[in-house]
Chain A
């Protein structure tokens, strides 16, 4: 489904991702862990198409097409979804109107009919239950004045409505208390299907207690230095990142 080969990217001439390789198949959940500054969020932003990040090498193939050639909106329409680490507050843009526009743009691009107001509201009702989201939030301006937890829930709610093929969760656990974390994780789990994939980007192992990954990758200095099963996450939680950093440094010298 997602095939990242030798991806190099940076910002303002500073390289951040260096020959990153990653393959994610349908139905799989991959976790990307790593210390601060290792390039986790850069990877998420590059996949979503943020123009500040300059891709200097490599390729990203998503379901057979070159993702890097596509505009951000076309990536979203093709089924790539980024749950933002810091969802943007947009005063004056109503949550529901925004999401209806987004869903219908995606449906149009797939040749499906647009949902009318009634159909859309039915869908919204169903999905809010999934996320235990207060429907009153949806009458407000997008993310404006939302608590940290509400913002993250709203991200996953949008994901539930848009039903992406590839969901990238960028530090979705940051700023969540344990109850909110459980709700968000259970939402993500309910949305798992054999034909979609999830990339969970996180600093801590905590979230992975709830969203159990098939593969855990460790990102250090812009490349994946170690991959393993879910037990790798446990090990990182126990021992921290230092031992990996030391291994990387030793390998670099050797």
Chain B
């Protein structure tokens, strides 16, 4: 079932920046040169080679346009209109109080990044001598490790993804979490990326690597927030490696300023009987694109991909998921909900590969959308490629409005029309929120949704 509503190009960012001129190609070349100037991570030869190849690839791929199938509904050209440059560290712009505000009241380890740069002062790290490591990826790269070389940049492919290529070529820092086999992490780990950019076009490339070896259970919250309200760009990549029987719950919360551009890839790779639960909660940014992808590298693995996107005003929020059933007896469940008000535009593309060997695959995908205004637009597209014959795959997409019957029922009990609408919207959202297993985050997000819909 394909429900594709009318296409609508997004309008360009309100403020035109005239410092960038020339063709798209010239702009890309200029951007590559600008980002290439500040590479502090050239210590290891292996990484240097990869970065050089990624940079070349970015040049070859060129900036995506709506002619690219992967970007058909999402016009990222406003990004290229910005005077792109590496964001300054600006660590002093962020206070402890700011950090607490974004902490979900969660008792967690916390890795804080300001404009993509690690801030030791603002972070909460485990005491030395624990069974696991976490901290700055840049620092880890300096000391070097076999795990890094084995995994970093090896999973999130950049040969067909311009922004992942940019990130790979130019990332300066990000989170590194490593938990050795059968070790326990007593608290969730919160990766907090704060945008405090002071200039239009400031760009960050957060890069994170999470490794959970055999049998490890770990909960990760990855949140992206803004302290400034300028058109800045964040192109993030997170790689998650799940060893056999490992379980990662990864909750990504994107609440950036509504003038920011957020383009991210989350790539998991899963060993035998591992379990990945992914939540992508997206409420911020002028334009947000999330690639959420997993590769089943061995049998018996399972993935649950939940998503909730809320758009209002002129926001565009795009999710592209890829579940690659490369091995037999794996299970995937995708459950994405969107709520779009005003002139907001939502995009969902759910790709499921079932490879020839992947017998006994069970894949399920659901995308439901609530349009709160006549001018809101949703494009949704399931994309199933099935090469095995003994599989169970279902998918469904729906685009609808609040039910008049339900509103009337609530009103007939004395509930005013505004409250009735709000109750129904929140009910729709809570279907996804309820699935978050990290309670303070779930509670905080439910509260945030309530406040957001107060005015809807």
One digit per residue, 1 when the CB lies within 8 angstroms of any chain A CB and 0 when it does not, for chain B 422-456 equals: 01101110110000000000000000000000000
> Which of A24-32, A102-110, A171-179, A202-210 lies at the interface?
A102-110
Q: Name the residue of chain B whose CB is nearest to the CB of A141.
A: B427
Does B414 lie at the interface of the complex (its beta carbon under 8 Å from any beta carbon of A)? yes
Q: Name the residue of chain B whose CB is nearest to the CB of A87.
A: B409
Cα A141 to Cα B419 with chains together (Å) = 17
Cα A88 to Cα B413 with chains together (Å) = 12
Contact A102 B424 (CB under 8 A): no
Does A43 lie at the interface of the complex (its beta carbon under 8 Å from any beta carbon of B)? no
Does A181 lie at the interface of the complex (its beta carbon under 8 Å from any beta carbon of B)? no
**A-facing residues in B410-424 (Cβ within 8 Å):** 410-417, 419-420, 423-424
One digit per residue, 1 when the CB lies within 8 angstroms of any chain A CB and 0 when it does not, for chain B 389-417 equals: 00000000000000101101111111111
Q: Name the residue of chain B whose CB is nearest to the CB of A80.
A: B412
One digit per residue, 1 when the CB lies within 8 angstroms of any chain B CB and 0 when it does not, for chain A 86-109 equals: 011011110000110111011001
Q: Name the residue of chain B whose CB is nearest to the CB of A103.
A: B414
Contacts A92-B426, A93-B427 given: A109-B414 contact, CB under 8 Å?
yes
B211 smallest CB distance to A (angstroms): 36
Cα A32 to Cα B413 with chains together (Å) = 22
Contact A77 B414 (CB under 8 A): yes
A157 smallest CB distance to B (angstroms): 12
Does A76 lie at the interface of the complex (its beta carbon under 8 Å from any beta carbon of B)? yes
On chain B, the residues within 8 Å of A93 by CB distance are 410, 423-424, 427
Cα A50 to Cα B423 with chains together (Å) = 19
Cα A135 to Cα B42 with chains together (Å) = 65
Cα A146 to Cα B394 with chains together (Å) = 26
Contact A102 B415 (CB under 8 A): yes
Does A162 lie at the interface of the complex (its beta carbon under 8 Å from any beta carbon of B)? yes
Cα A93 to Cα B417 with chains together (Å) = 15
Query: Which of A72, A90, A91 makes the CB contact (< 8 A) with B412?
Result: A72
On chain B, the residues within 8 Å of A34 by CB distance are none
Q: Name the residue of chain A whose CB is nearest to the CB of B428.
A: A92
Contact A98 B423 (CB under 8 A): yes
A245 smallest CB distance to B (angstroms): 32
Contacts A88-B405, A90-B406 given: A102-B423 contact, CB under 8 Å?
no
Query: Which of B409, B411, B428 makes the CB contact (< 8 A) with A84?
Result: B409
Does A160 lie at the interface of the complex (its beta carbon under 8 Å from any beta carbon of B)? no
On chain A, the residues within 8 Å of B413 by CB distance are 76, 98-99, 102, 158, 162
On chain B, the residues within 8 Å of A49 by CB distance are 411-412
Of the listed residues B406, B412, B423, B427, the one surrounded by the most CB atoms of chain A closer than 10 A to its CB is: B412
Contact A72 B424 (CB under 8 A): no
Size bracket of the A interface? 20 to 34
Query: Which of B411, B420, B427 makes the CB contact (< 8 A) with A92?
Result: B427
Does A71 lie at the interface of the complex (its beta carbon under 8 Å from any beta carbon of B)? yes
Query: Which of B408, B419, B430 makes the CB contact (< 8 A) with A105?
Result: B419
B-side interface mostly: helix
Contact A73 B411 (CB under 8 A): yes
On chain B, the residues within 8 Å of A51 by CB distance are 408
Contact A91 B427 (CB under 8 A): yes
Contact A105 B416 (CB under 8 A): yes
Size bracket of the B interface? 20 to 34
Of the listed residues A51, A88, A91, the one surrounded by the most CB atoms of chain B closer than 10 A to its CB is: A88
On chain B, the residues within 8 Å of A77 by CB distance are 414
Q: Name the residue of chain B whose CB is nearest to the CB of A94.
A: B427
Cα A23 to Cα B412 with chains together (Å) = 22
Does A82 lie at the interface of the complex (its beta carbon under 8 Å from any beta carbon of B)? yes
A7 smallest CB distance to B (angstroms): 19
Contact B410 A98 (CB under 8 A): yes
Does A48 lie at the interface of the complex (its beta carbon under 8 Å from any beta carbon of B)? yes
On chain B, the residues within 8 Å of A76 by CB distance are 411-414
On chain B, the residues within 8 Å of A109 by CB distance are 414
Query: Which of A72, A92, A141, A158 makes the CB contact (< 8 A) with B408?
Result: A72
Query: Which of B408, B414, B427, B428 makes the CB contact (< 8 A) with A102?
Result: B414
Of the listed residues A84, A93, A106, A158, the one surrounded by the most CB atoms of chain B closer than 10 A to its CB is: A93
On chain B, the residues within 8 Å of A141 by CB distance are 427
A241 smallest CB distance to B (angstroms): 29
A74 smallest CB distance to B (angstroms): 8
B366 smallest CB distance to A (angstroms): 13
Q: Name the residue of chain A whose CB is nearest to the CB of B427.
A: A92
On chain B, the residues within 8 Å of A162 by CB distance are 413-414
Of the listed residues B409, B417, B430, the one surrounded by the most CB atoms of chain A closer than 10 A to its CB is: B409
Of the listed residues B409, B414, B415, B427, the one surrounded by the most CB atoms of chain A closer than 10 A to its CB is: B414
Contact B431 A90 (CB under 8 A): no
Contact A73 B406 (CB under 8 A): no
A69 smallest CB distance to B (angstroms): 15
On chain B, the residues within 8 Å of A101 by CB distance are 415, 419, 423
On chain B, the residues within 8 Å of A106 by CB distance are 414
On chain B, the residues within 8 Å of A84 by CB distance are 409, 412
Query: Which of A73, A88, A90, A92 makes the CB contact (< 8 A) with B414?
Result: A73
Contact A50 B424 (CB under 8 A): no
Q: Name the residue of chain A whose CB is nearest to the CB of B431.
A: A92
On chain A, the residues within 8 Å of B416 by CB distance are 73, 105
On chain A, the residues within 8 Å of B427 by CB distance are 90-93, 141
On chain B, the residues within 8 Å of A105 by CB distance are 414-416, 419
Query: Which of A75, A81, A87, A88 makes the CB contact (< 8 A) with B403?
Result: A88
Q: Name the residue of chain B whose CB is nearest to the CB of A105.
A: B414
On chain B, the residues within 8 Å of A102 by CB distance are 410, 413-415
B318 smallest CB distance to A (angstroms): 25
On chain B, the residues within 8 Å of A72 by CB distance are 408, 411-412
Q: Which residues of A contact B (CB under 8 A)?
A: 48-51, 71-73, 75-77, 81-82, 84, 87-88, 90-93, 98-99, 101-103, 105-106, 109, 141, 158, 162
Some 22 contacts from A to B, beta carbons below 8 A apart, are A71-B417, A72-B408, A72-B412, A73-B411, A73-B412, A75-B412, A76-B412, A76-B414, A82-B412, A84-B409, A88-B403, A92-B424, A92-B430, A92-B431, A93-B410, A98-B410, A98-B423, A105-B414, A105-B416, A105-B419, A141-B427, A162-B414
Given contact pairs A88-B408, A141-B427, a sample of 16 additional A-B residue pairs in the complex whose CB atoms are under 8 Å apart: A48-B412, A71-B417, A72-B408, A72-B412, A73-B420, A76-B414, A81-B412, A82-B412, A88-B403, A90-B410, A90-B424, A92-B426, A101-B419, A103-B414, A105-B419, A162-B413
Q: Which residues of B contact A (CB under 8 A)?
A: 403, 405-406, 408-417, 419-420, 423-424, 426-428, 430-431
Top 3 closest pairs, chain A to chain B, by CB = A92-B427, A76-B414, A102-B413
